A and B are shown apart, each in its own frame.
Chain A
Amino acid sequence: MIDDGDREDLSVRLERALLDADRPAAAAALEQARARDGALVVDRVLVPALERIGTDWERGLLALSQVYMAGRICEDLADALTPGTGRRRAVRAGLAIATLEDHHLLGKRIVSATLRAAGWPLQDLGQGMTARALAARVSEGGIRVLLVSTLMLRAALQVKDLVGLLQAAPAPVRVLVGGAPFRIDRDLWREVGADAMGATAGDALDLVEAWAEELG
């Protein structure tokens, strides 16, 4: 077993490599962690690194291009890690993400990469979707936790229609929203009737974890 101090060191080394977009160095740090303690590598090394990166972005210490590169690299590396890393998480309630209205996918890509790297099975329902089309996909797919990313205000306001339409879904659906309009107007998520809003992909990790536990 490795002790907590070693794990922290490896997690910090991984974080540095990710911020430099240095894939080989990131792979080496993760490999070392996996060799020493396979089952905990995702939870104790990879996820904390990504969470620190998200938080530092929110605090203005990092740029989004670094967050994006880190997420992408981790997503690839986590795929390679899977055998032996133990915990593939399960949400009995289906988990999905979509971009409402527009074709600017970066928010969705960052959040998806982070959740997938952390082992969450996440369905991608697409982009450029209308509230109606998205509500239909959610109901058909038995989705219980829906992540919605938006960039434009008009798209963010359509979450209200989406939430209304989801009232008719076979089972209750929790809606987590995010994206620039929600970050700049901090009350907007309440106004549109979402269940929560996340300012970073790290927030998505925390909320999904909590909700999955509650929903069983």
Chain B
Amino acid sequence: MSAALTPAARVAAALGHREGDRVPFFLPANMHGARLLGVPLTAYLGSAELVVQGQLRLRELLGHDAVSGFLCAAAEAEPFGGEVVVHEDGPPNTGEPPLRSAADIERLRPPDPTTSPTLRRSLEATAALRAAVGAEVPVLAGGIGPFSLPAIQVGLDRWFELLHQHRPLAERLLRVNEAFCASWANALLAAGASAVALAEPLASPLLVPADRYRELGLPALRRTVAAVRGPVAVSTASAPCLPIAADLAGAGVACVGVSAADDLSQSKRILRGRAAVMGNLNGLEMRHWTPDDAEQAVRAALAAGGPGGGFVLSEHHGEVPFQVPLEVLQAVAEAVRRWGTYPLRWADAG
């Protein structure tokens, strides 16, 4: 058996479409650190220091291949004048969309991400995590893609109306968002992140017709990725991805996150040699999983995604719900250790 790789080398092998020592995995349990530290969720997400401790404890417990300084998606409403509404039993949410009129969009300039207290806290956590883990462990960072950000800037209803009926205004907003998204990603990389994962659910044909996304959203993603000084992953955040997966890879991303609704083997075939595949365990279902369910789900994902490298096992949305028991996450981790060691002979055998 080959010597164990560091998490960074294991992930690099996967992104390079090679089989490392085992399939790398990461469970984005952004809130479970609160449970491990025994502190209320709002206190946890309100403190970079607690998030760092929580992420390190989680890695000790699960042995997964990264840590993350991501706090919440709602934070990205702040630089645009929106608010973050916190809860003790689940992730923060945004309040009312801050941009209310066409004039608000016309006069909008890309804001400085560091004007937001929550985003600053995320930068702080990222830097402290890098200092704590050194070069051996990837530090992940997260952001919202330029085509999805309008959902919290103007509301999804208004965004759909702009896309279908006021195209110049939609394009104007996208230009601002590309610039914002790239500057936020670059700030995260400068703070020590290894890669930035963008949640771009509006790229999914569940939400916007693929031809419209290709016309408007994809060029925005391509320009964003080109302006980011480091590796970018993009995911449709649990919405179906397959019909546009090749387009996303063509935008220059290193990794594409697919959903539980997407066929993993097919995703691998489509993306082979172009982008690694990340996914695709269903976090909402995990609430009910027995250790046996966890093992079955992991085995199925490994068999479909693992062979040949180019695969990172993860949850498909980018956040495991707070209500998922830690025992389920441990069972997932245990199953990856048990079945994920390369070469995956058991999977080749059928």
Contact = CB atoms under 8 A, between A and B. Distances in A.
A154 B288 contact: no
Contacts of A109: 157
B243 to A, nearest CB: 9
Interface stretch (A77-85, A139-147, A180-188): A180-188
Given A102-B93, A152-B93, A65 B208 contact: yes
Contacts of B321: 153
A106 interface: yes
B235 to A, nearest CB: 15
Interface string B121-163: 0000000000000000000000000000001000111001101
A72 B207 CA distance: 16
A69 B164 contact: yes
A65 B209 contact: yes
A63 B209 contact: yes
Interface in A171-216: 181, 184-185, 187-188
Contacts of A63: 205-210, 212
Max chain B Cβ within 10 angstroms of own Cβ: one of A60, A68, A184: A184
B169 interface: no
Contact of B155 (A60, A65, A105, A181): A105
A115 interface: no
A134 B288 CA distance: 28
Interface stretch (B59-67, B84-92, B268-276, B340-348): B84-92
Max chain A Cβ within 10 angstroms of own Cβ: one of B156, B282, B287: B156
A188 to B, nearest CB: 8
A181 to B, nearest CB: 6
A64 B148 CA distance: 14
A56 to B, nearest CB: 12
Nearest to B151: A104
Contacts of B163: 65
B284 interface: yes
Nearest to A20: B164
A188 B210 CA distance: 30
Interface residues of A, number: 27
Nearest to B240: A60
A103 interface: yes
A205 to B, nearest CB: 20
A154 B90 contact: yes
Contacts of A105: 155, 157
B157 A152 contact: no
B262 to A, nearest CB: 11
Interface string A100-121: 0111111001000000000000
A29 to B, nearest CB: 18
B52 to A, nearest CB: 25
A65 B90 contact: no
A42 interface: no
A68 B157 contact: yes
A63 B206 CA distance: 5
Contacts of B209: 62-63, 65-66
Nearest to A185: B284
Given A157-B323, A184-B284, A64 B93 contact: no
B259 to A, nearest CB: 9
Nearest to A62: B209
Interface of B: 87, 89-91, 93-97, 151, 155-157, 160-161, 163-165, 205-210, 212, 238, 240, 282, 284-285, 287-288, 321-323
Interface of A: 21, 57, 60, 62-66, 68-69, 72, 101-106, 109, 152-154, 157, 181, 184-185, 187-188
Q: Nearest 8 pairs between A and B by C-beta?
A: A154-B90, A65-B160, A185-B284, A21-B164, A63-B209, A106-B156, A184-B284, A64-B207
Given A64-B206, A103-B95, 10 more contacts: A21-B164, A57-B206, A63-B205, A63-B206, A64-B208, A68-B157, A101-B93, A106-B157, A152-B93, A154-B90
8 contacts: A65-B164, A65-B207, A106-B155, A106-B157, A152-B90, A152-B93, A154-B91, A185-B287
